[in-house]
Protein backbone atom coordinates (compact mmCIF):
# COMPACT_ATOMS: atom_id res chain seq x y z
CA UNK A 1 0.00 0.00 0.00
CA UNK A 2 1.21 3.55 -0.64
CA UNK A 3 1.28 5.93 2.30
CA UNK A 4 -0.61 9.24 2.15
CA UNK A 5 1.81 12.06 1.22
CA UNK A 6 1.81 13.71 4.66
CA UNK A 7 2.63 10.43 6.39
CA UNK A 8 5.42 9.70 3.90
CA UNK A 9 6.72 13.21 4.57
CA UNK A 10 6.67 12.55 8.34
CA UNK A 11 8.63 9.34 7.80
CA UNK A 12 11.14 11.13 5.56
CA UNK A 13 11.47 14.01 8.04
CA UNK A 14 12.20 11.41 10.70
CA UNK A 15 15.03 10.05 8.60
CA UNK A 16 16.39 13.62 8.31
CA UNK A 17 16.32 13.84 12.11
CA UNK A 18 13.15 15.90 12.50
CA UNK A 19 10.35 14.47 14.65
CA UNK A 20 7.09 15.97 13.40
CA UNK A 21 4.36 15.31 15.93
CA UNK A 22 1.32 15.17 13.62
CA UNK A 23 0.12 15.29 10.02
CA UNK A 24 -1.43 18.71 10.71
CA UNK A 25 1.99 20.01 11.76
CA UNK A 26 3.63 18.41 8.73
CA UNK A 27 1.17 20.27 6.51
CA UNK A 28 1.42 23.64 8.29
CA UNK A 29 5.21 23.80 8.12
CA UNK A 30 4.74 24.91 4.50
CA UNK A 31 2.89 28.07 5.64
CA UNK A 32 5.83 29.48 7.58
CA UNK A 33 6.61 33.06 6.57
CA UNK A 34 9.01 33.97 9.38
CA UNK A 35 11.40 31.96 11.54
CA UNK A 36 12.37 33.20 15.00
CA UNK A 37 15.30 31.72 16.90
CA UNK A 38 16.15 31.65 20.58
CA UNK A 39 19.86 32.30 21.11
CA UNK A 40 21.46 30.25 23.87
CA UNK A 41 21.38 26.54 23.08
CA UNK A 42 19.52 27.10 19.82
CA UNK A 43 21.57 29.35 17.55
CA UNK A 44 24.59 28.71 19.76
CA UNK A 45 26.02 25.41 20.95
CA UNK A 46 24.67 26.21 24.39
CA UNK A 47 27.90 25.23 26.11
CA UNK A 48 29.17 28.62 27.22
CA UNK A 49 32.41 28.74 29.17
CA UNK A 50 33.55 31.26 31.75
CA UNK A 51 36.04 33.40 29.83
CA UNK A 52 36.62 35.96 32.61
CA UNK A 53 35.90 36.25 36.30
CA UNK A 54 36.01 39.69 37.89
CA UNK A 55 35.58 39.92 41.65
CA UNK A 56 33.86 43.07 42.89
CA UNK A 57 34.33 44.33 46.42
CA UNK A 58 36.20 42.28 48.98
CA UNK A 59 35.36 38.68 48.06
CA UNK A 60 38.14 36.81 46.23
CA UNK A 61 37.63 35.48 42.71
CA UNK A 62 37.82 31.86 43.91
CA UNK A 63 35.31 32.46 46.67
CA UNK A 64 32.90 34.13 44.24
CA UNK A 65 33.15 31.13 41.93
CA UNK A 66 32.77 28.64 44.79
CA UNK A 67 29.61 30.31 46.10
CA UNK A 68 28.18 30.74 42.59
CA UNK A 69 28.78 27.04 41.89
CA UNK A 70 26.91 26.15 45.09
CA UNK A 71 23.89 28.21 44.02
CA UNK A 72 23.96 26.92 40.41
CA UNK A 73 24.40 23.24 41.27
CA UNK A 74 20.68 22.33 41.09
CA UNK A 75 20.12 24.35 37.87
CA UNK A 76 19.96 22.80 34.39
CA UNK A 77 20.70 26.09 32.62
CA UNK A 78 23.78 26.24 30.33
CA UNK A 79 25.10 29.12 32.48
CA UNK A 80 25.00 26.77 35.48
CA UNK A 81 27.02 24.16 33.59
CA UNK A 82 29.62 26.82 32.73
CA UNK A 83 29.94 27.97 36.33
CA UNK A 84 30.25 24.40 37.62
CA UNK A 85 32.86 23.53 34.97
CA UNK A 86 34.92 26.60 35.92
CA UNK A 87 34.77 25.65 39.60
CA UNK A 88 35.79 22.08 38.75
CA UNK A 89 38.73 23.34 36.65
CA UNK A 90 40.03 25.21 39.69
CA UNK A 91 39.52 22.16 41.90
CA UNK A 92 36.95 23.94 44.04
CA UNK A 93 34.56 21.63 45.91
CA UNK A 94 30.93 22.65 45.34
CA UNK A 95 29.29 23.65 48.63
CA UNK A 96 25.79 22.43 49.45
CA UNK A 97 22.91 24.83 48.88
CA UNK A 98 19.56 25.24 50.61
CA UNK A 99 16.36 27.04 49.58
CA UNK A 100 17.26 26.90 45.88
CA UNK A 101 14.98 28.76 43.53
CA UNK A 102 15.26 29.70 39.87
CA UNK A 103 13.54 32.29 37.70
CA UNK A 104 13.60 31.47 33.97
CA UNK A 105 15.36 34.19 31.98
CA UNK A 106 16.74 35.71 35.16
CA UNK A 107 18.87 33.36 37.25
CA UNK A 108 19.06 31.39 40.48
CA UNK A 109 19.29 32.01 44.19
CA UNK A 110 20.10 29.84 47.20
CA UNK A 111 21.59 29.89 50.66
CA UNK A 112 25.21 28.73 50.39
CA UNK A 113 27.34 28.35 53.52
CA UNK A 114 24.70 30.32 55.38
CA UNK A 115 24.87 33.27 52.96
CA UNK A 116 22.21 34.29 50.42
CA UNK A 117 23.76 33.94 46.96
CA UNK A 118 22.13 35.02 43.68
CA UNK A 119 23.56 34.36 40.22
CA UNK A 120 21.91 35.77 37.13
CA UNK A 121 21.44 38.47 34.55
CA UNK A 122 22.73 42.01 35.13
CA UNK A 123 19.11 42.95 35.92
CA UNK A 124 19.97 41.61 39.39
CA UNK A 125 21.97 44.79 39.96
CA UNK A 126 18.70 46.75 39.94
CA UNK A 127 17.63 44.79 43.00
CA UNK A 128 20.61 45.86 45.09
CA UNK A 129 19.33 48.55 47.42
CA UNK A 130 21.76 48.54 50.31
CA UNK A 131 23.57 51.91 50.39
CA UNK A 132 26.92 50.41 51.33
CA UNK A 133 27.04 48.54 47.99
CA UNK A 134 26.72 51.64 45.79
CA UNK A 135 30.35 51.68 44.67
CA UNK A 136 30.26 47.90 44.18
CA UNK A 137 27.17 48.27 41.97
CA UNK A 138 28.87 50.96 39.88
CA UNK A 139 31.98 48.79 39.55
CA UNK A 140 29.91 45.73 38.59
CA UNK A 141 27.99 47.72 35.97
CA UNK A 142 31.25 48.90 34.39
CA UNK A 143 32.50 45.30 34.15
CA UNK A 144 29.13 44.16 32.74
CA UNK A 145 29.22 46.89 30.05
CA UNK A 146 32.77 45.96 29.02
CA UNK A 147 31.91 42.24 28.85
CA UNK A 148 28.80 42.87 26.74
CA UNK A 149 30.67 45.24 24.42
CA UNK A 150 33.09 42.36 23.83
CA UNK A 151 30.16 40.10 22.85
CA UNK A 152 30.17 38.10 26.08
CA UNK A 153 27.16 37.23 28.20
CA UNK A 154 27.59 38.92 31.57
CA UNK A 155 26.41 37.07 34.67
CA UNK A 156 26.32 38.79 38.04
CA UNK A 157 26.95 37.17 41.43
CA UNK A 158 25.40 38.74 44.53
CA UNK A 159 26.44 37.58 47.99
CA UNK A 160 24.33 38.69 50.92
CA UNK A 161 22.55 41.16 48.63
CA UNK A 162 25.68 42.94 47.42
CA UNK A 163 27.61 42.53 44.13
CA UNK A 164 30.54 40.14 44.61
CA UNK A 165 31.57 39.37 41.05
CA UNK A 166 30.84 39.40 37.35
CA UNK A 167 31.41 36.43 35.04
CA UNK A 168 31.93 36.91 31.30
CA UNK A 169 30.66 33.89 29.36
CA UNK A 170 31.56 32.98 25.80
CA UNK A 171 29.43 30.70 23.64
CA UNK A 172 29.95 29.61 20.02
CA UNK A 173 27.55 29.83 17.14
CA UNK A 174 26.49 26.42 15.81
CA UNK A 175 28.41 25.75 12.57
CA UNK A 176 25.14 25.34 10.62
CA UNK A 177 23.61 28.63 11.87
CA UNK A 178 24.64 31.03 9.10
CA UNK A 179 23.82 28.58 6.29
CA UNK A 180 20.44 27.86 7.84
CA UNK A 181 19.61 31.56 8.15
CA UNK A 182 20.45 32.03 4.45
CA UNK A 183 18.37 29.00 3.42
CA UNK A 184 15.38 30.16 5.51
CA UNK A 185 15.64 33.69 4.12
CA UNK A 186 15.49 32.26 0.60
CA UNK A 187 12.58 29.94 1.46
CA UNK A 188 10.37 32.44 3.31
CA UNK A 189 11.49 35.71 1.74
CA UNK A 190 12.23 37.14 5.18
CA UNK A 191 15.39 37.05 7.28
CA UNK A 192 14.86 35.25 10.62
CA UNK A 193 14.73 37.21 13.90
CA UNK A 194 16.41 36.51 17.24
CA UNK A 195 14.45 36.45 20.53
CA UNK A 196 16.67 36.20 23.56
CA UNK A 197 16.77 36.68 27.29
CA UNK A 198 20.33 37.86 26.91
CA UNK A 199 21.35 41.49 26.58
CA UNK A 200 20.85 42.86 23.04
CA UNK A 201 24.46 44.05 22.87
CA UNK A 202 25.93 40.66 23.71
CA UNK A 203 23.43 38.92 21.42
CA UNK A 204 24.11 41.35 18.56
CA UNK A 205 27.61 39.99 17.95
CA UNK A 206 26.43 36.40 17.51
CA UNK A 207 23.39 37.47 15.51
CA UNK A 208 25.56 39.39 13.05
CA UNK A 209 27.78 36.31 12.63
CA UNK A 210 24.65 34.31 11.78
CA UNK A 211 23.36 36.95 9.36
CA UNK A 212 20.52 38.17 11.61
CA UNK A 213 20.00 41.90 12.14
CA UNK A 214 16.63 41.91 13.94
CA UNK A 215 17.58 41.14 17.57
CA UNK A 216 15.04 41.45 20.37
CA UNK A 217 16.87 41.05 23.67
CA UNK A 218 16.30 41.21 27.39
CA UNK A 219 13.14 39.11 27.06
CA UNK A 220 11.64 37.14 29.91
CA UNK A 221 9.49 34.12 28.91
CA UNK A 222 6.33 36.30 28.66
CA UNK A 223 8.28 38.84 26.61
CA UNK A 224 9.08 36.15 24.04
CA UNK A 225 5.34 35.38 23.83
CA UNK A 226 4.58 39.10 23.31
CA UNK A 227 7.13 39.27 20.48
CA UNK A 228 5.63 36.20 18.77
CA UNK A 229 2.13 37.69 19.03
CA UNK A 230 3.31 41.06 17.67
CA UNK A 231 4.88 39.32 14.66
CA UNK A 232 1.66 37.34 14.14
CA UNK A 233 -0.40 40.55 14.38
CA UNK A 234 1.80 41.86 11.57
CA UNK A 235 0.55 38.98 9.42
CA UNK A 236 3.45 36.57 9.92
CA UNK A 237 3.12 32.81 10.29
CA UNK A 238 5.78 32.38 12.91
CA UNK A 239 7.87 29.27 13.41
CA UNK A 240 9.89 29.56 16.63
CA UNK A 241 12.91 27.38 17.41
CA UNK A 242 13.95 27.12 21.05
CA UNK A 243 15.46 24.85 23.66
CA UNK A 244 14.78 26.24 27.10
CA UNK A 245 12.16 26.22 29.83
CA UNK A 246 12.07 29.97 29.12
CA UNK A 247 11.01 29.27 25.51
CA UNK A 248 8.11 26.91 26.30
CA UNK A 249 5.31 29.53 26.47
CA UNK A 250 6.48 31.17 23.21
CA UNK A 251 6.81 27.76 21.49
CA UNK A 252 3.15 27.16 22.38
CA UNK A 253 2.12 30.65 21.19
CA UNK A 254 3.91 30.41 17.83
CA UNK A 255 2.13 29.02 14.77
CA UNK A 256 4.69 26.23 15.00
CA UNK A 257 7.09 25.53 17.84
CA UNK A 258 10.26 23.55 17.17
CA UNK A 259 12.46 22.30 20.02
CA UNK A 260 16.08 21.25 20.06
CA UNK A 261 16.08 17.50 20.78
CA UNK A 262 19.40 16.87 22.49
CA UNK A 263 19.93 20.04 24.44
CA UNK A 264 16.26 20.87 24.83
CA UNK A 265 14.50 20.92 28.20
CA UNK A 266 11.56 18.58 28.78
CA UNK A 267 9.14 21.52 28.87
CA UNK A 268 10.33 22.78 25.47
CA UNK A 269 10.01 19.28 23.98
CA UNK A 270 6.45 19.00 25.28
CA UNK A 271 5.39 22.48 24.12
CA UNK A 272 6.84 22.00 20.62
CA UNK A 273 5.08 20.72 17.49
CA UNK A 274 8.29 19.28 16.09
CA UNK A 275 11.75 18.37 17.39
CA UNK A 276 15.19 18.66 15.76
CA UNK A 277 16.31 15.32 17.16
CA UNK A 278 20.04 15.83 16.50
CA UNK A 279 20.03 19.61 17.18
CA UNK A 280 20.92 20.04 13.51
CA UNK A 281 19.58 23.44 12.38
CA UNK A 282 20.14 22.55 8.71
CA UNK A 283 17.26 20.07 8.89
CA UNK A 284 14.80 22.96 9.42
CA UNK A 285 14.76 24.41 5.87
CA UNK A 286 14.83 20.83 4.57
CA UNK A 287 11.63 19.93 6.43
CA UNK A 288 9.82 23.12 5.34
CA UNK A 289 10.67 22.27 1.72
CA UNK A 290 9.44 18.72 2.36
CA UNK A 291 6.14 20.06 3.70
CA UNK A 292 5.64 22.16 0.57
CA UNK A 293 6.23 19.14 -1.65
CA UNK A 294 3.84 16.97 0.38
CA UNK A 295 1.17 19.64 0.20
CA UNK A 296 1.42 19.83 -3.58
CA UNK A 297 0.79 16.09 -3.67
CA UNK A 298 -2.18 16.33 -1.29
CA UNK A 299 -3.89 19.06 -3.28
Stretch that binds ligand ADP, among 35-43, 130-138, 174-182, 272-280 (CB under 6 A): 35-43
- What, of ligand ADP, Mg ion, none, does residue 283 touch, CB below 5 to 8 Å by kind? none
Binding test (CB under 5 A) with Mg ion, winner from 29, 30, 36, 41: 41
- What, of Mg ion, ligand ADP, none, does residue 217 touch, CB below 5 to 8 Å by kind? none
Binding test (CB under 6 A) with ligand ADP, winner from 34, 35, 64, 108: 108
Which one, 5 or 78, has the nearer CB to ligand ADP?
Answer: 78
Assess 243 for contact with Mg ion (CB under 5 A): yes
Assess 121 for contact with Mg ion (CB under 5 A): no
Residues in 173-212 at the binding interface with Mg ion, rule: CB under 5 A = none
Binding test (CB under 6 A) with ligand ADP, winner from 244, 249, 263, 285: 244
Residues in 148-177 at the binding interface with ligand ADP, rule: CB under 6 A = 153, 155
Assess 265 for contact with ligand ADP (CB under 6 A): no
- What, of ligand ADP, Mg ion, none, does residue 280 touch, CB below 5 to 8 Å by kind? none
Assess 106 for contact with ligand ADP (CB under 6 A): yes
Least distance to ligand ADP, CB of residue 24, Å: 28
Question: CA separation (Å) from 54 to 93, 139, 165, 175, 282?
Answer: 20, 10, 5, 30, 37
Which one, 73 or 237, has the nearer CB to ligand ADP?
Answer: 73
Those residues with Cβ within 8 angstroms of residue 9's Cβ, 6 or more apart along the chain or in another chain: 20, 26, 290, 291, 293, 294
Assess 47 for contact with ligand ADP (CB under 6 A): no
Hey, how many other C-beta atoms are within 10 angstroms of the C-beta on 33?
15
38 is an active site residue: yes
Residues in 174-213 at the binding interface with ligand ADP, rule: CB under 6 A = 196-198
Catalytic residues, by residue number, are 38
Binding site for ligand ADP (CB under 6 A): 38-41, 72, 75, 77, 79-80, 102, 105-108, 119-121, 153, 155, 196-198, 244, 246
Binding site for Mg ion (CB under 5 A): 38, 40-41, 243-244
Amino acid sequence: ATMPPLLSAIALAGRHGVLVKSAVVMERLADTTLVAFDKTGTLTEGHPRVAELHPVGKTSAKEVLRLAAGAEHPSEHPVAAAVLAAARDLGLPVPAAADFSSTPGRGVSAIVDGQPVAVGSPALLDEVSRPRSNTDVAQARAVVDAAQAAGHTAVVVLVDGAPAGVLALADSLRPAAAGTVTALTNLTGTTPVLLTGDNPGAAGHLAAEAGISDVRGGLLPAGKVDQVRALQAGGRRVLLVGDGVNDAPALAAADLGVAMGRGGSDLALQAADAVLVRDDLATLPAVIALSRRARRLVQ
